[in-house]
A and B are shown apart, each in its own frame.
Chain A
Amino acid sequence: MTEKTSPTVNSFVSQNRGLILSLLALVVLPFIVGLFEGASLGAVWQNESGTSKFVQGLAIEIFILAIYALSYDLIFGITGLLSFGHSMFFAAGAYLSGILLKSFDLSLGMTLVWVLVIAVVNAFLFGIVLPRVKGITFALVTLGLGSVFHIVIMSREVGDYTGADVGLQAVPVPEFINPATHRLTFYFVAIVLLLVVYFIYKRFVDSPTGRVCVAIRENEDRAKMLGFNTFYFKIVALVLSSVTAALAGTLHTLYQPIVSPNTAGLGFTVTALLIILIGGVGTLNGALVGAAVYRLLDFGLRRYLGESASFINGAIYILIVLYLPFGIVGTWRMQSAKITEGRKRLLKLLKLEK
């Protein structure tokens, strides 16, 4: 690709350098943590309990959150659709996989197929209102759809399957990926899935379809006038997002292996929103960084401050939004561009002085 044909293309190599490094770090992380504690590599490999296993668990939660946040970034950050019912996509995956594994004894493969089908149906459910409502109205309609789902999940009529307000308990997890006995396997499966989702999203955003989604976010009327039927593009984004979120939900069920009705609530949608606000809206990388910051901050504060953690947590989020208005990744990109420019200007100036 020549310089002239694509001025918008980012420096792909330098971006992936950070990714490869962090990936390597994540692969050795369980073993390093184990060594610090004096556990042998073999012990870590055998999934013996210890700090390493605990850290793996925390990391798995981050990966699941990251996949979920990526899916929200696609519809909110990239396509510009503000949805307040996004947790429904996640919870549908989580509940469905749990119910199919527990009450219907389906294999993991069949479960995944069903999750995929229902995720697509969900996306279309959100999609049918798209041509009629925009902006904040869309947010409210999706909030309504999500709330209906939440109420249905909690209702006593389906309690035999969903566990009503207690949640879905004791989901049988296939042994080869059981997080209690095979956590390291689960850890690597989660990393691989996160990577696959991340690269699919990267490619999507850089594809002709994704570019139109960005155009819709920027100025939907203009996109229509260029000749794009924006409805179809929004549906594509919703389907991809819903499938991803449902995958994250399935992983969540397999890992926990319980499903709380909270995953269907508005609070969990706000979690996704918060994660990408911290990381940087519309940056994709921001969802990964944001998920890590969100989970670690929550974990750390809760450990040392106990009950008052959420208060401090909230204060930190306010500070982040105030001082990093484009999120960590967004602000970083902007600043590094400024620094490069400033350095160029400085060099020019110094030459002039000579």
Chain B
Amino acid sequence: MDSEIIFETEDLRKVFGGLVAVNDVSIKVHKNTLHAIIGPNGAGKTTFFNLLSGNLEPTSGKVFFKGKDITNQPVHRTIHFGIGRSFQITNIFPNLTVFENIRLASQAMGRDNFKFYRRTGSFQSYANRSWEVIELVGLVDRATTPARMLPHGDQRKLELGMILAPDPEVLLLDEPTAGMAAEQVPELITLIQGIQQAGDKTVMLVEHNMNVVMSVSDVITVMHQGAVLAEGSPSEIAANETVQTAYLGGLYQLDL
């Protein structure tokens, strides 16, 4: 991989009390790749994501985004740099409509947030952008439904839409398929892959479904007890002895 590096961490460390959740992780994420982070529960994947997106402040270490130091930037600012982040647990505005959920996400990127004297409806560009995104994630029929009434799979799509609306360069997706019915998973994965390839975006993915990870990823980082255990292409990871014993348990055989 020789494309430019978009995300880089330097000895990133996060300690909760006595627990070292993320232990001196240094990784490089290349532009326009689909970079998966895998590892057993409690390996520190979500904490690592929280450090990247600014939800948590690291105990030590640094985060660089496009060569710029963004360590300790609050979460409401990192998104303006071009970092979109989704959550393992669905995180939406439950009582607002699908359209309004996405419209808020589009509005956040503009400079009209404090125009309290104008009607929201008079800002066409946000509405247009929202419809684009709603179409992309396939929720057009549901646009006027309150988000809480959506089935779980559609809520995951809505959440993806809320990250896509500001058109970020990097998507941090924390188990986007969590809790989804098995038959819906391929659809969402195709969607994510499509977005990554069409819009030259970088996707970082935490995922437990090994078939998904092995088939879509360009690079896989394996985390174990807060540290990086191995990194490489899917076939390298599947062949790696340490990874097999620590995580895959000798069960996963790559079908080639």
| Chain A residues close to B by CB (< 8 Å) | 1, 4-9, 203-204, 206-212, 214-215, 218-219, 221-230, 232-233, 236
Whole-angstrom distance between the alpha carbons of A189 and B4 in the complex? Answer: 67
B97 A209 Cβ-Cβ under 8 A: no
- Would you call the interface of chain A mostly helix, strand, loop, or mixed? helix
Whole-angstrom distance between the alpha carbons of A236 and B118 in the complex? Answer: 15
Which of A4, A5, A204, A211 is close to B107, meaning CB atoms less than 8 Å apart? A211
A224 B75 Cβ-Cβ under 8 A: yes
B115 A209 Cβ-Cβ under 8 A: yes
B93 within 8 A of A: yes
B166 within 8 A of A: yes
Interface centre among B53, B118, B119, B131 (most CB of A within 10 A): B119
A207 B104 Cβ-Cβ under 8 A: no
Residues from chain A with Cβ under 8 Å of B104 in the complex = 211-212, 215, 223, 226
B115 A207 Cβ-Cβ under 8 A: yes
| Chain B residues close to A by CB (< 8 Å) | 53, 55, 74-77, 79-80, 85, 91-97, 99-100, 103-105, 107-109, 112-124, 127-128, 131, 143-144, 162, 166
* The 9 nearest A-B residue pairs measured at CB: A227-B108, A209-B116, A227-B79, A218-B93, A7-B144, A5-B127, A226-B108, A6-B121, A207-B116
**Which chain B residue shows the least CB distance to A229?**
B76
Residues from chain A with Cβ under 8 Å of B115 in the complex = 207-209
Whole-angstrom distance between the alpha carbons of A1 and B120 in the complex? Answer: 11
Whole-angstrom distance between the alpha carbons of A223 and B91 in the complex? Answer: 10
Whole-angstrom distance between the alpha carbons of A225 and B92 in the complex? Answer: 11
Interface centre among A7, A212, A229 (most CB of B within 10 A): A7
Residues from chain B with Cβ under 8 Å of A206 in the complex = 119-121
Name the distance in Å between A331's Cβ and chain B's nearest Cβ: 16
Residues from chain B with Cβ under 8 Å of A204 in the complex = 116
Which of B77, B85, B113, B117 is close to A212, meaning CB atoms less than 8 Å apart? B113
B94 A219 Cβ-Cβ under 8 A: yes
Whole-angstrom distance between the alpha carbons of A233 and B113 in the complex? Answer: 9
A222-B144 contact given A203-B119, A208-B107, A230-B76, CB 8 Å threshold: no
Whole-angstrom distance between the alpha carbons of A204 and B119 in the complex? Answer: 8
Residues from chain A with Cβ under 8 Å of B55 in the complex = 225
Whole-angstrom distance between the alpha carbons of A225 and B117 in the complex? Answer: 25
